[in-house]
Amino acid sequence: MIRYFKNSSSLFLAAMVIAILFSCEEQVNIDLNQEDFLPKPRSIVNADGTFEITASTPINLLGDEAKVGPIADFFNERINKSTGFELTKRQISGASSGINLYLIDEGEEFSEAYRVEITKNNVIVSSANEAGLFYGVQTLLQMLPPEIHADSKQDIKWQVSTGSVRDRPAYGYRGTMLDVARHFFSVDDVKRVIDHIASYKMNRLHLHLSDDQGWRIEIKAWPNLTKIGGTTQVGGGKGGFYTQEQYKDIVAYAAKQFVTIVPEIDMPGHTNAALASYAELNCDGKATDLYTGTEVGFSTLCVDKEITYKFIDDVIRELAEMTPGEYIHIGGDESHVTPIEDYIPFMERVQGIVSKHNKKSMAWDEIAHAKLKENTIVQFWAEEENAKKGVMQGAKVLMSPAKRAYIDMQYDSTTRIGLHWAAYIEADSAYTWNLEEYVKGVNPDQIIGIEAPMWTETITNMDDIEYMMFPRLTALAEIGWTETANRSWDDYKERLARHSEVWNVKGINYYKSPRIDWEQKKIEE
């Protein structure tokens, strides 16, 4: 079964010969090197010729059907509306004509690595793991005409160029954060964000589930958190929250696209919604008023009260029970009214609660003031000193430098939404940096990856989210996926311009950055 790998180069030679023989046939020949892949794959080999998907193309499942079947279903679902096809799945034992999804049962040392090999007769997407197979399918989708994303049937030929792609990510953690506390977003909105990030091979969605302005996750032991704390948001709107069933639905939806949800309960600061819901969490025993403004740093849990730790234990326990991912994010940022001598033992104790529930802690970089538990991740956003303090304690760092990776920042001073306290982040500024060099003293092997946070003080609906995401999400996804040596702004911006046709088809209102020539057309032979 593994033989085609060894012979792949001769297979391509054969494919090329066949392609030349049949070159009089009418076909669109796209050079694979001109494809608008985002993020850029590690290696691309072009061949002459095309493979066409028709209504009768089968999807061959090679390997464990329970694992490969859902990935075939995902592909079918994605292409169904635009093609009108429902491709037949069949379990077979060797690659055949059609689209082959091949889960190799041995021998790949890199998780998420995949290959896509295309000849005139077949497509073989292969990987040693399901995530890799899924990314191979995402790459195949990027090879198809942009109209593949239309929601009505299109009368065009569904051709892809022959050749091969071999690929694997540079970093294992590639994510986005969505702040659902400042403004609440529906389950459907969160699912659309998951679709977006997964299509660029990101694999984590961090949900900022609590802050001064709102508590967004049902906790059965503390019902007022949502009954009271869930009823507001910035600007005074009605807020909202996810029931545990809805949260589990989000987790399951994300898992199908190999995205892990990282839930955050921010503490000891950013806690006004909880403090307004339960008087006993306050040192003076009085509930605060609900808050709908955008100030930060004015609230704190009462670190001296035992009830505070009972509260945290209940919240983390319920959250851990419905979160299959390994991390619980415990915030720890901007606790300006918690004295440092209180902050440190508090963050140490909360890490212990997280481990007790068999999860690992993640927290904003301020946590490095405290003693870190083994496996705690420091999320760098503001203070390089904190990131360095973290690695000196042996911790790994997640990179979210606000000056480059905060997708709630305005593009320039005229952007109608967004903040600019860290920087204006134009399309090129989001792209032209790398994880290895950003903080001197934090080395590649100490970095787990990248996360692009979307804070939502000024962002109120899906249209706003997409406007701030595109075209920066693709830049940050590529920084996490593609090795630095294989990236360049000039090459990226051309791929991006061509890829924007996908956003047009999907109805995404993206920012038409003047740094990009959006009229760039696909180079056709």
Q: What is the DSSP letter of 445?
A: G
Side chain identity, residue 38: L
Among 141, 187, 344, 419, binds ligand TNX (CB under 6 A): 419
Site string for ligand TNX, 444-463 (x = CB under 6 A): -----------x-x------
Q: Which is nearer to ligand TNX, 388 or 498 (CB)?
A: 388
Is 291 near ligand TNX (CB under 6 A)?
no
CA atoms of 249 and 23, how far apart (whole Å): 49
Q: In 311-455, at which residue ranges do the beta strands (DSSP E only) sit?
A: 327-331, 360-364, 377-380, 396-399, 447-454
Is 417 near ligand TNX (CB under 6 A)?
no
CA atoms of 60 and 37, how far apart (whole Å): 24
Is 334 near ligand TNX (CB under 6 A)?
yes
Edge-first strand listing for the sheet containing 98-103: 43-53, 158-167, 114-118, 122-127, 98-103, 59-62, 89-91
Site string for ligand TNX, 118-157 (x = CB under 6 A): ----------------------------------------
Active-site residues, by number, are 334
Is 1 near ligand TNX (CB under 6 A)?
no
Cα 418 to Cα 83, 423, 503, distances in angstroms: 38, 11, 21
Q: Which is nearer to ligand TNX, 258 or 381 (CB)?
A: 381
**Looking at the DSSP assignment, which residues form a beta bridge with residue 413?**
none
Q: Which residue has tokens 């899924």?
A: 134
Angle at 98 between CA 92 and CA 104, to 5 degrees: 50
Is 185 near ligand TNX (CB under 6 A)?
no
Among 112, 167, 218, 333, binds ligand TNX (CB under 6 A): 333
Is 318 near ligand TNX (CB under 6 A)?
no
Among 11, 141, 287, 296, binds ligand TNX (CB under 6 A): 296
Is 381 near ligand TNX (CB under 6 A)?
yes
- Nearest distance from C-beta of residue 334 to ligand TNX, angstroms: 5
- Nearest distance from C-beta of residue 230 to ligand TNX, angstroms: 18
- Nearest distance from C-beta of residue 94 to ligand TNX, angstroms: 52
**Looking at the DSSP assignment, which residues form a beta bridge with residue 126?**
102, 115
Pairing of strands 210-211, 158-167: unpaired
Is 383 near ligand TNX (CB under 6 A)?
no
Cβ atoms within 10 A of the Cβ of 193, count?
Answer: 25
CA torsion sign for 65, 71, 77, 82 is: negative
How many residues in the shown chain lie near ligand TNX by CB under 6 A? 10
Note the residues at the interface with ligand TNX (CB under 6 A).
296, 333-334, 364, 381, 406, 408, 419, 455, 457
